[in-house]
Structures are given as C-alpha cells and as structure tokens.
C-alpha cells in the first residue's frame, strides 16, 4: 500500500485478504505488529476487531441479496454454518434468515468509509 486512496479501499482490501490480519499487513508491506500499533494508535482498536466488523457488514449485505446462509458463511471463510449463525445473531440480534427477509435496505454501517479514511492516518503510507 502506498497511496492515500488505498485507505478508502480498506474494506475491499480486507475482503480480498479474506479478513485475515496477516494478509492485510502483507498487502501494506508491513508487519502484523506494525499494523496492530497503527490501528491501536489511530482507531483505538485492533485490526482483528475491525476485520471482524467488516466481515459482519459483508455478511449482512450478502444476506440482504437473498443469498443462502450456507453460501454466505462459506464465502466469508466460516468453516461451520452454526458458528456463522451465532456471530450474526450476536452482532445484529437477528438470525441470518431474518436478515434475508428483512426490509432494511442495507447493512447498519458502523463506520463511515470516508470518515474512517480521514481518521486513519497510518504511519506506513
């Protein structure tokens, strides 16, 4: 990663990396430890917490597209559908099936992408 524009693409980079901290750090050409320090300093949280949040946002969006629960779970790297269902229920207070048929137009965005990029002045740029 070498441009400020990459910060705007951080959710896409996370998805391409399979929500894996090691792969995200690799895409920025830094160590996992440096990524952890930068996230903690700039966002007050760990990269894994942020990646987990992004993964749940992606899950919500995919379920809203009426994709099957099993398909979404495996696409997002969950090995067990039951674990995926528990994470969704814990995060959104709804089952994946309830999300699929809900009338909410999109996922409840926890983080505004442009605000996140503005606040995320990471040292490795």
Enumerate the domain spans of the chain: 5-103
Reported pTM: 0.76
List C-alpha distances in Å: 61 to 6, 74, 119: 22, 15, 24
pLDDT at 59: 96
pLDDT at 58: 95
Provide the sign of the torsion angle of the four alpha carbons 115, 26, 51, 40, taken in this order.
negative
Phi-psi domain of 12 (left: phi exceeds 0; alpha: psi -120 through 50; beta: other): alpha
- In this structure, the chain runs to a length of 125
**Do residues 44 and 36 lie in contact, with contact meaning Cβ atoms separated by under 8 Å?**
no
- Which listed CATH number (1.20.1440.230, 1.10.10.60, 3.40.50.1370, 3.60.9.10) goes with 5-103? 1.10.10.60
CA distance 4 to 22: 21
pLDDT higher than threshold 50 for residue 110: no
Terminal Cα distance for the chain, rounded: 7
SS3 of residue 25 by DSSP: helix
pLDDT tens digits, 24-75: 999 999 999 999 999 999 889 999 999 999 999 999 999 999 889 999 999 9
């Amino acid at each position: 990663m070498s441009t400020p524009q990459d910060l705007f693409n951080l959710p896409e980079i996370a998805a391409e990396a399979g929500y894996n901290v090691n792969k995200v750090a690799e895409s920025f050409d830094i160590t996992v430890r440096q990524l952890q320090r930068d996230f903690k300093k700039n966002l007050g949280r760990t990269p894994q917490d942020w990646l987990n949040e992004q993964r749940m946002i992606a899950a919500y969006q995919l379920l809203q597209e009426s994709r099957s629960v099993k398909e979404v779970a495996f696409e997002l790297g969950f090995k067990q559908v039951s674990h995926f269902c528990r994470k969704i229920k814990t995060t959104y207070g709804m089952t994946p099936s309830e999300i699929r048929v809900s009338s909410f137009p999109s996922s409840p965005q926890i983080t505004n992408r442009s605000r996140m990029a503005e606040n995320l002045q990471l040292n490795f740029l």
